[in-house]
Amino acid sequence: MTAIVGYARTSTLEQVAGFEAQLRELTAAGCTKLYQEQVSSVAKRQQLEACLDYLRDGDTLIVTKLDRLARNVSHLGQLLAALKNKGVSLRILDLGLDTSTPTGELILNMMGAVAQFERQMMLERQREGIVKAKSEGRYKGRAPTAMRQALRAREMAAEGLRRSEIAVALGISERSVYRVLQGI
C-alpha cells in the first residue's frame, strides 16, 4: 500500500499562520501522514529525517513550496536522489510539479538552479549596498538575534530548560544561548 506523505516546515515558532496554511493544503492534497517542524532550514531537521526514513517505494512526498524542503540546489539534488533511489515521487503544490514524470523532474531541477541564481544575485546586491552604506557612514549592521532574546533565554533557563531546548524554541544556536547565559 502506497502512502501520500506531507512535510510542513516554518523557520520560527512565530510563523503560525503560514504553518497552519501548509497543514491545511497538505491535508487537502490527500496526505494521510504529516511530518511537521518549526526549525530553520540550516538546522538539523529531525522530522524531515524521520519522513525520509518512513517513505517506501511507490510513496509520494508532498510539500507546499520548494523552500520548505530544500535549502539550496545542492541540497535539493541530494533529496531528489535519495527519493528517486527509494522509488518515491515528490510533488510541490505551489509549482504544480510532480517528479514522477521526466518533465516534472527536469523542470524542478531548472527551477532550483534559477532560485539559487536569484539568491546569489540578491546577496551580491546586498553586499554592494552595505559597502555603499559603510562608505557613507550609514551602516549599523543587524541587531544581534540572541541578545534581543536574552531575557527570554534566561527565563527559560530558570524554568529548567536545557540549552538545546532554549535554542530550538528561540530559533538561535546553542552557542548563542550559552553566551547569553554566561553574560558574554
Separation CA 95–CA 110 (nearest Å):
12
Contact between 166 and 156 (Cβ < 8 Å)? yes
Query: Has 11 been annotated as catalytic?
Result: yes
> Can you name the residues that pair with 37 across neighbouring β-strands?
9
DSSP H helical ranges for 29-101: 46-54, 73-86
Choice among 11, 40, 41, 173 that is catalytic:
11
What is the rounded CA–CA span in Å between residue 45 and residue 67? Answer: 14
In the sheet with 89-92, reading across from the earlier edge strand, the strands are 33-38, 4-10, 60-63, 89-92, 97-98
Helix (H) or strand (E) holding 59: none
Strands 89-92 and 60-63: parallel
DSSP string covering 94-162: GGTEETTSHHHHHHHHHHHHHHHHHHHHHHHHHHHHHHHHHHTT----PPPHHHHTHHHHHHHHHTT--
Task: List the catalytic residues.
Answer: 11
